Structure 1
């Protein structure tokens, strides 16, 4: 499902690496990565999604290199930066994701109502609180029964 081999990440302009020689293989299991601030947890998730500059090593999802984005269609994440890239209202974002994933919006909207978030539907992610944006990101990540779910500070 997820295979990380010898992964190293150095961000442009940085002298010190964010990750050095990280390897992990996940197959139908759960894993929690813990560590102090700045230890590379988010960078690892970003690299698994093709959002961080991999300096060395490789990441494979479902047998495909991450650079081949087709595998990412079955992965969900709650990294809010992914969703904040689109400056659209929350309700439109839910509908857009449903279209992209080929599913229905009913489940996500049920969760929105259950958490009493209806008032944020016409607002954009950058217009709502950080907590509300994280909750929306979590709901979007859980929607459509993903094969792989990568969560950052859920």
Structure 2
């Protein structure tokens, strides 16, 4: 497991390639027999992400129904990542249901959609915006607020 982290680096330079996150998890778990925790640790150390936009319409989202039909295993992994993330946040903010709703990888308010930028932010070991302003996501949710309680994360602008 140690060599995976030191030999592989994948930079997500926008939201288009973010499906590579659940794909790496799938490969590690299903093909290489890693535990979920081991696969998640490696995946977090492999990926970094740059946010390029502030416009909510430019932050790519995918319908849960469509993703479930096309890539059901990937969607299952995305839900597992989201569950882990929300449980981590809930431990820190037990009474802030609004925070959980706004930072969830799954947008429940808009026809159930996967927020690809949120997935990248949650999983990547390093996240940056092309400017400080770009380190904000839709609805005033800041990358720092999403990531502040996640272990092994670095943020730069």
Output the TM-score relative to the length of structure 1: 0.31
Output the TM-score relative to the length of structure 2: 0.31
**Greater C-alpha radius of gyration:** 1
The structure showing larger relative contact order (alpha-carbon pairs under 8 Å, at least 6 residues apart) is: 2
Q: Which has the higher strand share?
A: 1
